[in-house]
Amino acid sequence: MTIPAASENNFPKARFGPSYLSVTMGKIFKWSASGIHCEGLQGDASDRSYFRVSQKNSGELLKNKSQKSLQSLIVMQLEEPVLDIEIDFIRVLKFLRSLDLPAPELFYYDASKGLLFLEDCGAMTLEDQLNAFPQSQPKLYRQAVELLVCMQSRATHSIDSTCPAYHRKFDVKKLMWEFNFMLDHYVDEFCDSPLENSARKELREAFTPVCESLAAEKFYFAHRDYHSRNLMFDQERLVLIDFQDARMGPCQYDLVSLLKDSYVKIEDALVEKLIDYYILLKEKEEGQGVDRERFRDIFDKMSIQRNLKAVGTFAYQSVKKNNNQYEGFITPTLGYVRKALMCRFKDSSLQKVLSKYIPGLDRKKEVDL
């Protein structure tokens, strides 16, 4: 939509139209009503919607804290308005920015409409940048690992009860809930292979020890979706987005999200180098050594749990949300699970049980990743 424009809203999902933008941008941001443009953006696997609002009249632009001209911003629309003055997204955002971590600035929150006016951190995600410049993959991933260690260190050290992540943990209950979510939506519904109660019992008995092992680890601040689509590439820096579901968990959680990414393939040799790089940075940051064998054991277990959870999310989007854009990522994501099972649990009861009941994990159907 462009302001002024026809009275109808060109974005059916938007809870705002041209007149609202004109008034809001003028009142809050001092923008002229003429030349305001709005475009819908592709969102993530959530119920949030995103829009980029820009001002073509460079003579009347808002100045942000760093005194840079603000020519555009992002409007994030929540699924529905929330009565709370500060939603989890805002609380986590303030926490990250208080630690001088790269996260978008929040300019204005219209609670009544469930709209957040955020800093525009560009149109390129890490995934986009990797696709455009594949030769830069090692450098960009080292940068992402550096940011991860920095975030974990600062946030874990400083977190308190004012941050929602403080109260959320990847305990056994949560990890098993995600496993059952995958069984419900991927196995039962997406694959149309309903499990008998006896099969579910067998699966739970096999998978619970994995979750108990993960939940027994020292907990760190975890972004929870730290991957190529949730890191913006803005003027050579990486910026954190989509962090509202942050919680406490093993330090390997976000590293698995980054290196076992459903959307970007990383060669095994580079993955190994990046794991080593992460450990070296972690040792330097914490001033103590890391037991590499134990670290890799938890990394592989976390890869199994995290990627099965992702498969459940992709299947849920397909069967419950009529959104099939994630179906193509199910096979490669299951491939990560197969590899971790082969590496850590070859010929074990866990590998046998998962491969027996979860379609796509049968070694006979294995495809290269």
Cα gap 71→141, rounded to integer Å: 30
Q: What is the mean pLDDT of each run of 10 residues along the chain (369 residues)?
A: 41 84 91 87 79 74 50 93 86 98 96 95 96 97 98 98 97 98 98 98 98 98 98 96 97 98 97 98 98 98 98 97 96 97 95 97 56
Give, for 69, the enclosing helix (H) or strand (E): strand 69-70
Please give the pLDDT value at position 325. 95
Cα gap 198→181, rounded to integer Å: 17
DSSP secondary structure of 210-276 = HHHHHHTSPPEEE-S--STTSEEEETTEEEE---TT-EEE-THHHHHHHHS-SS----HHHHHHHHH
Please give the pLDDT value at position 44. 67
| Nearest by Cα to 47 from 263, 260, 244, 334 | 244
Say how far residue 59 (Cα) sits from the centre of its chain: 37
| Domain ranges for the chain | 2-119, 126-365
Please give the pLDDT value at position 56. 74
Please give the pLDDT value at position 309. 98
**pLDDT tens digits, residue range 70-116?**
789 999 999 999 876 789 999 999 999 999 999 999 999 999 999 99
Please give the pLDDT value at position 4. 35
Task: Give me the helices (H) in 99-136, please.
Answer: 126-132
Q: What are phi and psi of 222, to 5 degrees?
A: -125, 125
Please give the pLDDT value at position 8. 41
Cα gap 130→220, rounded to integer Å: 28
CB 145 within 8 A of CB 270: no
Please give the pLDDT value at position 358. 98
Query: Which is the CATH superfamily of the domain at 126-365?
Result: Aminoglycoside phosphotransferase (APH), C-terminal lobe (3.90.1200.10)
Please give the pLDDT value at position 364. 53
Please give the pLDDT value at position 279. 98
